Amino acid sequence: MRQRPGASALNVPKPHFGKSGLRDYLYYQLNQRESIESPHRAPEQSVDQESPCLSSYRIGLIAATQAEADRFVEQVTGAIRQHSSCQASHHFTAYALDQVWRPQQPFDEVHWFQGSTACQAPQEFLACLGTIVHIHLFERSATKLLLGFRTYYWKSADELTAFIASLALSREARGLLELDWESYCAWQPSMGYVATLSSSWGPTPIAAADALLASADTRAPSRSEGEILIIESGIDTNLGDYVDIVNALEQSFEFDFVTTGWVSLNYSGYGLKLLRFRH
């Protein structure tokens, strides 16, 4: 993801289009995926090029008990089915610590859900289960996690499942505003960085952007590593709507963000989800 001075990742130069250059930026995005390590700068590849990490993406949703894991999967897939009748790339599997069977091969991603039990995340075991490990918590924890784990603090289980579903829908859509999913798969946060989410909805692009600006911290902290913006909207969304949203946020935010999104027949208005990894 993007890096600021003083943090550990490489600070890669990026094309600069300026505050009034959103048209050029969107033309650029038509032919380039947006790299997580450096927003607005992408590797030399076209949008319609198939990404190996998306051809068949296996995700393990892990909890202490099978009942919690099953409920986790039902909530995520249910949220996805509201807006997509097929999940060509994503395959979700419920897995619990009380199961005797073991996956024959690691998942592409595993998500540890800290449910109603007091069971702590079995870090070494999770690292063996998946290539990418996400730790989802609902309260602050002093537990030191292994390097490379992606840790999140959520206000509720609904907020967590809504974000996982929205990110999966973005990967399935593979539309204009597409980040480079290869860089998403390869990225590792620095030790101690934790993600939180700001969300908004509005009947128009500007109303959604204004609502997000009212709830999100617009400042650029000295220790921040990544920002992903998901734009959710109906099928009548046009390029001008994306321009209005990105332009409004770009004028106020003191940090860059990677943009992705999806559209649905069943979505009304415009929803924004801003995920930020900060220390």
Q: Concatenated DSSP letters for 82-117? A: TT-S--SSEEEEEEETT-S---SS-EEEEEEE--SS
| pLDDT digits 0-9 by tens, 200-223 | 999 999 999 999 999 887 776 656
Residue 35 three-state SS: coil
Positions of the chain with pLDDT lower than 50, given as ranges:
1-23, 27, 29-32, 36, 41-52
pLDDT in tens, 68-77: 999 999 999 9
Confirm if 258 and 229 have CB atoms less than 8 A apart.
yes
Number of other residues whose CB lies within 10 A of the CB of residue 227: 23
According to DSSP, the residues that pair with 226 across neighbouring strands are: 277
pTM, 2 dp? 0.80
- Residues ≥6 apart with Cβ < 8 Å to 174: 47, 54
| 107: number of Cβ within 10 Å | 23
d(CA 165, CA 167): 6
pLDDT, residue 173, reads: 78
